[in-house]
């Protein structure tokens, strides 16, 4: 019962949040001095008539309030409208979402598969050489800016010729066999994955280490040890279960980052994902596209938190109790 109440409450909370986010972003974008028609205006062969036609098509002649309302009306109906180039926003998003999801899920899966164990190991082997070594690695990973690392990787690709320079598929992709296609995509994914993996791994590993250390320091662990439980039992049965809770909240945020987390890396690697699309849309003030992506980001964030909450209810009896 409490589960459904939680979900319902969250969904209801979403509505005012979406309205506020959409209002704010719509007005900020529209009030910025960016003119979506700037390039056309500077083209000597474009006549005033064509310009007027474009202004009408993009609704730029109406007051901003009216523009917002007409956008909101179609958004509620599930219609995301058209981009300034006249393509359907939903189509544009649909062709990019799988690409971004592919990259981010691979990265998140890898970081969690590697990051959690590493964090646990370095917490258990605190102050040993291994821990120090991992700390140094993590510091490097956190300190290096993702775009810079990405550029280094690109240069590496050019110099060695082992990896393609950006993109997702080779130009002859459609003529490859199934196995060839898988190999082709993997080859393209290696470098961006390395960049994103290195950067998010460090944070995750450090977080896990800190959580576990804190728990290991608590009284009930001391008690468990005093009861004569084996170290393995202490750590995996008692310490880890408690240390994992903050990580679940983190996982919720990772979910929100699924669609937007890799924008910068995507741009440097010319990866055909959402990040690049949205960045280009913002620069041109392509309002429908930007709004759709912002709304999507908001919904993903709320959804991520919801999932985290539900997972917490499963893992943590205290949360369950509090909610009831």
Q: Which two tokens stand for residue 193?
A: 């994955």
Residue of 61, 217, 231, 280 that binds another protein (CB under 8 A): 280
User: By C-beta, is 189 or 239 nearer to another protein?
Assistant: 189
Q: How far is the CB of 187 from another protein (least distance, A)?
A: 13
Residue of 33, 63, 78, 317 that binds another protein (CB under 8 A): 33
175, 111 Cβ separation under 8 angstroms: no
Residue in 302, 192, 294 with CA at minimum distance from that of residue 255: 302
User: By C-beta, is 36 or 203 nearer to another protein?
Assistant: 36
Q: How far is the CB of 318 from another protein (least distance, A)?
A: 46
Residue of 108, 121, 168, 290 that binds another protein (CB under 8 A): 168
Residue of 92, 206, 209, 238 that binds another protein (CB under 8 A): 92
Q: How far is the CB of 142 from another protein (least distance, A)?
A: 18
Q: Is 277 in the site for another protein (CB under 8 A)?
A: yes
Residue in 230, 200, 193, 218 with CA at minimum distance from that of residue 118: 200
- HEC states along the chain? CHHHHHHHHHHHHHHHHHHHHHHHHHHHHHHCCCCCCHHHHCCCCCCHHHHHHHHHHCCCCCCHHHHHHHHHHHHHCCCCCECCCCCEHHHHHHHHHHHHHHHHHHHHHHHHHHHHHHHHHHHHCCCCHHHHHHHHHHHHHHHCCHHHHHHHHHHHHHHHCCCCCCCCCCCCHHHCCHHHHHHHHHHHHHHHHHHHHHHHHHHHHHHHHHHHHHHHCCHHHHHHHHCCCCHHHHHHHHHHHHHCHHHHHHHHHHHHHCCCCCHHHHHHCCCCCHHHHHHHHHHHCCHHHHHHHHHHHHHHHHHHHHHHHHHHHHHCHHHHHHHC
User: By C-beta, is 43 or 139 nearer to another protein?
Assistant: 43
User: By C-beta, is 48 or 177 nearer to another protein?
Assistant: 48
Q: How far is the CB of 72 from another protein (least distance, A)?
A: 22
Residues within window 144-163 making contact with another protein, judged by CB under 8 A: 154-155, 157-158, 161
Residue of 1, 15, 42, 226 that binds another protein (CB under 8 A): 42
In whole angstroms, give the CA distance from residue 79 to residue 12.
21
User: By C-beta, is 164 or 246 nearer to another protein?
Assistant: 164
Distance of CA 128 to the CA centre of its chain: 34
User: By C-beta, is 41 or 125 nearer to another protein?
Assistant: 41
Residue of 174, 178, 227, 324 that binds another protein (CB under 8 A): 174
Q: Is 164 in the site for another protein (CB under 8 A)?
A: yes
> 82 φ, ψ to 5°?
-115, 150
User: By C-beta, is 46 or 221 nearer to another protein?
Assistant: 46
Q: Is 14 in the site for another protein (CB under 8 A)?
A: no
Q: How far is the CB of 75 from another protein (least distance, A)?
A: 20
Residue of 61, 87, 217, 231 that binds another protein (CB under 8 A): 87
Residue of 9, 57, 125, 237 that binds another protein (CB under 8 A): 57
Interacting residues with another protein (CB under 8 A): 33-36, 38-51, 53, 57, 82, 85-87, 91-92, 95-96, 154-155, 157-158, 161, 164-169, 171, 173-174, 267, 270, 272, 276-277, 280, 285
């Amino acid at each position: 019962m409490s589960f459904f109440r939680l979900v319902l409450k969250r969904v209801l909370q979403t509505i005012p949040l979406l309205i506020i986010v959409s209002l704010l972003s719509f007005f900020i974008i529209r009030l910025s001095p960016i003119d979506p028609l700037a390039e056309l205006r500077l083209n000597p062969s474009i006549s005033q008539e064509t310009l007027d036609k474009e202004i009408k098509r993009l609704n730029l002649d109406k007051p901003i309030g009216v523009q917002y309302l007409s956008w909101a009306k179609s958004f509620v109906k599930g219609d995301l409208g058209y981009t300034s180039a006249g393509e359907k926003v939903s189509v544009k998003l649909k062709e990019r979402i799988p690409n971004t999801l592919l990259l981010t899920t691979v990265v998140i899966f890898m970081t969690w598969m590697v990051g959690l164990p590493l964090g646990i190991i370095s917490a258990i082997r605190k102050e040993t050489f291994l821990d120090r070594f991992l700390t140094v690695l993590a510091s490097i990973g956190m300190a290096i800016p993702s775009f810079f690392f990405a550029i280094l990787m690109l240069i590496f690709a050019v110099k060695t010729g082992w990896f393609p320079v950006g993109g997702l598929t080779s130009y002859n992709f459609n003529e490859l066999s199934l196995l060839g296609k898988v190999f082709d995509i993997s080859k393209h994914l290696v470098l961006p994955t390395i960049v994103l993996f290195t950067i998010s791994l460090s944070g995750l590993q450090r977080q896990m280490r800190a959580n576990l250390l804190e728990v290991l320091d608590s009284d009930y662990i001391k008690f468990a040890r005093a009861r004569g439980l084996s170290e393995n039992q202490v750590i995996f049965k008692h310490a880890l279960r408690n240390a994992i809770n903050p990580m679940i909240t983190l996982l919720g945020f990772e979910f929100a980052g699924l669609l937007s987390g890799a924008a910068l890396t995507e741009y440097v690697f010319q990866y055909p994902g959402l990040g690049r699309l949205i960045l280009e849309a913002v620069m041109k003030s392509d309002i429908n596209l930007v709004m759709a992506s912002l709304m999507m980001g908001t919904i993903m964030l709320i959804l991520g938190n919801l999932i985290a909450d539900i997972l917490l209810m499963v893992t943590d009896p205290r949360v369950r109790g509090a909610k009831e």
